């Protein structure tokens, strides 16, 4: 093989090996003692921010509490406030995941309904409490006050271990907000979630969980390939 043919082949192989090792680990949002999700600034044992709600979508709305409902992956936390036209009094949530120090892509998973253009299901999220961005899934209609940047269809992602449910009968689909190249120190990462849009009608948030993906360093195999490439180039001098 000629040297000009070998160089791109080895380079592509090295990149493929490095990237193929990355996959997302899904972590369900779980309340209560032993869980990972709580009202920001509160304790894990505090349950005052949520209420059980097994009613249909047209059921009870809550002005100051999230309702936990039996959908999605085990359950979802729904923000469906009562007051139209104003930001809600529903508390911001914190989900904490234990991670080794390093660099990660972090994800927030939420549901959007796919059968009606009259409802906007969004999520407000970020890595700094009180400074969250509201996200909506790509497509029509556009949601005023929300961005689609960084939002991906969860069914298109690659998962490590058990993948989350990403479709509920063609009525709802799971989406993910991606935060790239996050440096984690101290053994854990906090992800903040809220519903910050002015409320109208049946608009809501369905929060399901988070995910993480190690940003891979060059693997030993990839380094070996690059080392071989360097040796070939050196011999040609």
pLDDT digits (tens, 9 = 90+) for 118-136: 788 999 999 999 999 999 9
In a shared domain, residues 57 and 159 = yes
Structure token pair of residue 30: 């779980």
In a shared domain, residues 12 and 100 = no
Q: Please tell me which residue, 237 or 124, carries the higher pLDDT value.
A: 124
Asked if residue 61 has pLDDT above 80, the reply is no
- Which range marks the domain in which residue 16 is found? 1-21+217-237
In a shared domain, residues 95 and 2 = no
Q: Please tell me which residue, 31 or 13, carries the higher pLDDT value.
A: 31
Q: Please tell me which residue, 2 or 182, carries the higher pLDDT value.
A: 182
CB atoms closer than 10 angstroms to residue 195: 29
In a shared domain, residues 120 and 14 = no
Structure token pair of residue 129: 């409490």
> Can you give the pTM of this predicted structure?
0.83
Strands 50-52 and 66-69: parallel
In a shared domain, residues 199 and 157 = yes
Asked if residue 193 has pLDDT above 80, the reply is yes
CA distance 190 to 168: 28
In a shared domain, residues 178 and 234 = no
Asked if residue 157 has pLDDT above 90, the reply is yes
In a shared domain, residues 65 and 171 = yes
CA distance 158 to 18: 15
In a shared domain, residues 166 and 221 = no
In a shared domain, residues 159 and 82 = yes
Q: Please tell me which residue, 82 or 20, carries the higher pLDDT value.
A: 82
Overall number of domains in the chain: 2
């Amino acid at each position: 093989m000629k040297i000009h043919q070998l160089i791109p082949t080895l380079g592509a192989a090295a990149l493929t090996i490095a990237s193929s090792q990355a996959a997302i680990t899904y972590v369900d949002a779980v309340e209560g003692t032993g869980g990972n999700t709580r009202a920001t600034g509160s304790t894990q044992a505090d349950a005052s921010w949520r209420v059980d709600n097994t009613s249909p979508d047209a059921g009870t709305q809550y002005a100051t509490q999230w309702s936990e409902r039996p959908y999605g992956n085990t359950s979802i936390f729904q923000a469906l406030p009562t007051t139209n036209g104003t930001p809600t009094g529903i508390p911001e949530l914190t989900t904490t995941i234990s991670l080794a120090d390093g660099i990660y892509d972090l994800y927030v998973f939420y549901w959007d309904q796919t059968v009606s253009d009259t409802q906007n299901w969004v999520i407000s999220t970020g890595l700094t409490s009180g400074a969250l961005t509201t996200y909506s899934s790509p497509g029509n209609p556009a949601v005023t006050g929300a961005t689609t940047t960084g939002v991906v269809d969860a069914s298109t992602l690659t998962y490590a271990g058990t993948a989350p449910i990403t479709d509920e009968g063609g009525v709802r689909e799971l989406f993910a907000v991606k935060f790239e190249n996050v440096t984690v120190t101290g053994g854990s990462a906090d992800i903040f979630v809220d519903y910050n849009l002015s409320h109208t009608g049946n608009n809501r948030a369905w929060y399901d969980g988070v995910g993480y993906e190690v940003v891979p360093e060059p693997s030993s195999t990839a380094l070996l390939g690059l080392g071989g490439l360097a040796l070939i180039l050196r011999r040609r001098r």
